[in-house]
């Protein structure tokens, strides 16, 4: 706990058997709940996670990164979390920074906290491919212009959310693919929640997960589309479901039929 707030770490997983144990080894003691949602891995991720004592939920097929996060957040909220930190189990981000991210929310400074690979200038030194760095900077500048924010990057996978944010956003309107991350931040800004950032150098190595060039291009077009939707919605010219206040949200009544583990695999 931090400042009396119950902290959950959620790990959206796919074939992370080689890096999961190292990720958990560096996780600080302030974490109250540790959840791994497996998106139908083909390696030993699930068995290892169970052996390491994690709460494990398994999708019955590969639904995608965005859908995995939806299950992660639903399970964390059902476990009573006040602050939820998403940490990739591929050991790319430093688990020791969980208290710093959660602390920004626990002390009331912000509603959402991001671990930025750009702040501090360590992205290239950490091994970020040059094309990804350039596209990150271009897309971030484009988004800041259209969304009216001043973030150092929108594309980090290291994030913390207050319970209130996760219950308020229409997350079930978002993509099942990687652009889910970007849509969530656009929603956070659109609905007026506060965002804070800390510096988080990342590691790039063979076992760390990374989308390939083709999917990176697809993600980039998705980011541009999300920014344009935001601008059109703000101007009143068009309406989009991801910015609909009454859009589909995480529903904790989802557990009322007593089939939690089956349901979590079929959201």
**Tens-digit pLDDT profile for residues 74-86:** 999 999 999 999 9
Architecture of the domain whose range is 7-247: Alpha-Beta Complex (3.90)
Confidence of residue 254 (pLDDT cuts 50, 70, 90): low
List residues bridging with 195 in a β-sheet: 112
Token output for 55: 């709460």
pLDDT attached to residue 60? 92
Taking only the tens place, the pLDDT of each residue in 83-119 is 999 999 999 999 999 999 999 999 999 999 999 999 8
Percentages helix, strand, coil for the chain, rounded to the nearest 5? 40, 15, 45
Pair 252, 244: CB distance under 8 Å? no
Pair 169, 188: CB distance under 8 Å? yes
Percent of the chain residues past pLDDT 70, beyond the cut: 92
Taking only the tens place, the pLDDT of each residue in 168-216 is 999 999 999 999 999 999 999 999 999 999 999 888 766 655 667 788 8
Measured distance CA(127)–CA(136) in Å, rounded: 14
Taking only the tens place, the pLDDT of each residue in 124-150 is 877 888 888 999 999 999 999 999 999
Q: Average of pLDDT values for 21-27?
A: 96
Domains of the chain, residue spans: 7-247
pLDDT attached to residue 139? 97
Pair 75, 37: CB distance under 8 Å? yes
Confidence of residue 123 (pLDDT cuts 50, 70, 90): confident
């Amino acid at each position: 706990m931090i400042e009396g707030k119950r902290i959950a770490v959620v790990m959206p997983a796919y074939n992370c058997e080689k890096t999961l144990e190292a990720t958990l080894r560096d996780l600080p003691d302030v974490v109250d709940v540790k959840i791994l949602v497996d998106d139908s891995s083909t390696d030993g991720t699930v068995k290892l996670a169970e052996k390491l004592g994690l709460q494990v939920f398994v999708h019955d097929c590969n639904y995608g990164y965005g859908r995995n996060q939806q299950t992660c957040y639903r399970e964390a909220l059902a476990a009573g979390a006040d602050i939820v930190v998403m940490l990739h189990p591929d050991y790319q981000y430093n688990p020791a920074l969980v208290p710093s991210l959660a602390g920004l929310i626990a002390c009331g400074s912000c509603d959402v906290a991001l671990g930025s690979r750009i702040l501090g200038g360590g992205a290239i030194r950490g091994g970020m491919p040059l094309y990804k760095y350039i596209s990150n900077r271009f897309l971030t500048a484009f988004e800041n212009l259209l969304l009216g924010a001043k973030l150092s990057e929108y594309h980090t996978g290291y994030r913390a959310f207050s319970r209130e944010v996760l219950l308020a956003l229409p997350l079930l309107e978002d993509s099942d693919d990687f652009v889910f991350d970007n849509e969530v931040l656009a929603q956070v800004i659109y609905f007026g929640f506060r965002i804070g950032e800390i510096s988080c150098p990342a590691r790039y190595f063979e076992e760390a997960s990374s989308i390939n060039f083709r999917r990176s291009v697809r993600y980039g077009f998705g980011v541009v589309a999300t920014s344009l939707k935001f601008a059109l919605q703000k101007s009143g010219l068009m309406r989009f479901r991801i910015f609909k206040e009454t859009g589909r949200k995480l529903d904790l009544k989802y557990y009322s039929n007593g089939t939690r583990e089956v349901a979590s695999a079929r959201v």
